[in-house]
Structure 1
Amino acid sequence: MNPPRKKIPNKQLLHLVIGGELDNLKDVTFKDLNALDIVGVYPNYAAAHAVWKQKAQMTVDNAEMRYFIVHLHRLLEPDIEE
């Protein structure tokens, strides 16, 4: 059981947007890590989602290409509530 997460107002909630071609569509294993598209780090989910949506739409014709939003703030401070 996880301990309760603390709520901190106006906390920076970093999010990373990455993408790449998947080895297969059933799991998240990239074909080539050297070709991984590290789009950037964003201060909140809304900003990351806007960029993720744009990148995903640009690659809609490639069924193996996927973009993801990684919640960096959850990795850096797992006890902080969003």
Structure 2
Amino acid sequence: MTDSQNKMHLVFGGHVSDPRTLDFDDFQTMHIVGIYPNYEQAEEAWRAWAQRTVDDAEMKYVVVHLHRLLEPEIIDPASK
């Protein structure tokens, strides 16, 4: 795996006050799915959990690019 493929991603979800935003209601009840070594695995986990909660319009799962937070100076806008 190359460095461009090995980038940490966090997947988590929780209830939001408005499904069009990322304003999470209760940080105590947020679900941390996990940390993944690449976007493909993170997306797979995100899709699985988003599908499980598809009937709850106020539940939202997201993928956070941890590598961008850890090393902001190397952000490549074209990469995931």
Paired-residue identity, %? 47
Q: CA RMSD in A?
A: 1.5
Residue 68 of structure 1 pairs with residue 70 of structure 2: no
Instruction: Please name the residue that 1:5 is paired with.
Output: none
After TM superposition, the score normalised by the length of structure 1 is 0.82
Report how far residue 23 of structure 1 moved: 1.3
Alignment gaps of 5+ in structure 2: none
User: Which is helix-richer, 1 or 2?
Assistant: 2
Question: Which aligned segments of 4 or more residues in structure 1 are displaced greater than 4 angstroms?
Answer: none
Counterpart AA for 1:60: V
Greater relative contact order (Cα 8 A, min sep 6): structure 1 or 2?
1
Instruction: Please name the residue that 2:27 is paired with.
Output: 33
Alignment gaps of 5+ in structure 1: 1-8
Residue 48 of structure 1 pairs with residue 49 of structure 2: no
